[in-house]
Amino acid sequence: MFRTKRTGLVRRLWRSRAPVEGDGETDTRTHGSRGCCMGKSTKVAGKTSAGTEAELKALTHSILKKIKEKQLEGLLQAVESKGGARSPCLLLPSKVDTKLGQQSYSLPLLLYKVFRWSDLRHCSELKRLPCCESYGKINPELVCCNPHHMSRLCELESPPPPYSRYPMDFLKPPVQCCNHPLSFSPLIDSQALQESGDRSHWCVVAYWEEKTRVGRLYSVQEPSLDIFYDLPQGNGFCLGQLSSDNKSPLVQMVRTKIGYGIQLSREPDGVWVYNRSCYPIFIKSATLDNPDSRTLLVHKVFPGFSIKAFDFEKADSLQRPNDHEFTQQPRTGFTVQISFVKGWGQCYTRQFISSCPCWLEVIFNNQ
């Protein structure tokens, strides 16, 4: 039978759908949501209430066959590259509802579930990414349904598990490396950058491997920055191009697992970090925690999730008179630390981020 191009695109899209939990294919590195940023756990709807695989396939095929061929190509590019390739918005009617089993879904929600997160319950769990052309725009008729223009939203409502609470780094004496105190050298360099007259940047990023900083500081002027090891299409801070003298097998292994890395974006309400990789990242930020606390929390962010890692207004109002680190280093409140793959804290073998194989220090410009 003669097969049209449209039919071929639809079949390829269906083969690239997101795994369903319980079918033996789910990869918790990319699809797991429980415990993300210590948020509420989510219960996955059973196959009985969500409809059978045959019903889902028939419904998805019927929807995709109504979409323009060019839009299908853009959606396929996004899905097959897992968001690594730039893809256009998929603008579809926002008020079309679909029925699957006993449940009714909006058109965007159904496509997000099929191609990204099978356990997604409501669009309120999502955050639109800056790469989406419809970001910040309200169009009652059309909405972007590209699943890789969205991220899951981390929640910070639940009490943190014990492993995530750890003493501040100042409790451990600074480690001297390359004649510079650990974590203070990026601060010195960033201040020197400001003194040179370059105030156009909103942050600078330092990449570290254990106790050694690798490469130069990366000054960020654009609203968003991709930080990655290997990305099919993208400009930004490529860690894979940095030459490292570290021969540690663990460092080399973690470097390759960084993959698509993270996206750092300055938005009206603060700075967001989106985990684009296939492994968790870990974040410490003063503005994520109670300002009266003597300890900061390390927040675990799973793949596909976003977290508001920094709040400029909150940072300006931070006063921690009992905190030695804040007293001695005022810019600590304007610094975020991010580690790839490996976390640190009381229940890890790594008590401090300086023991993590690969990590970032992001220093914000408060001028």
Residue, of 44 and 309, whose pLDDT is higher: 309
Strand partners, 218: 205
Which amino acid type is present at position 190? S
Average pLDDT of the residues in 75-93: 94
Answer yes or no: are the C-beta atoms of 249 and 230 closer than 8 Å: no
- In order, the DSSP letters of 88-101 are ---EEETT-EEEET
Answer yes or no: are the C-beta atoms of 103 and 49 closer than 8 Å: yes
Answer yes or no: are the C-beta atoms of 106 and 99 closer than 8 Å: no
pLDDT reading at 302 higher than 90? yes
Confidence band of 96 (pLDDT split at 50, 70, 90): confident
Cα separations in angstroms, 286 against 148, 171, 309, 333, 334: 29, 16, 9, 6, 8
Per-chain mean pLDDT for the chain: 79
Q: How far apart are CA 164 and CA 144, in angstroms?
A: 36
- In order, the DSSP letters of 144-167 are E--GGGEEEEP---SPPPGGGEE-
Least confident span in 29-38, 79-88, 246-255, 281-290: 29-38
Q: Is the dihedral of CA 334, 176, 356, 325 positive or negative?
A: negative
Label residue 130 exposed, middle or buried (CB < 10 Å: 0-12, 13-18, 19+). middle
Summarised one tens digit per residue, pLDDT across range 231-240 is 988 789 999 9
Summarised one tens digit per residue, pLDDT across range 142-193 is 889 999 999 999 876 444 443 333 333 322 333 333 333 334 444 445 454 5
Least confident span in 75-79, 136-140, 342-346: 136-140
Cα separations in angstroms, 288 against 209, 227, 311, 324, 333: 24, 21, 8, 19, 11
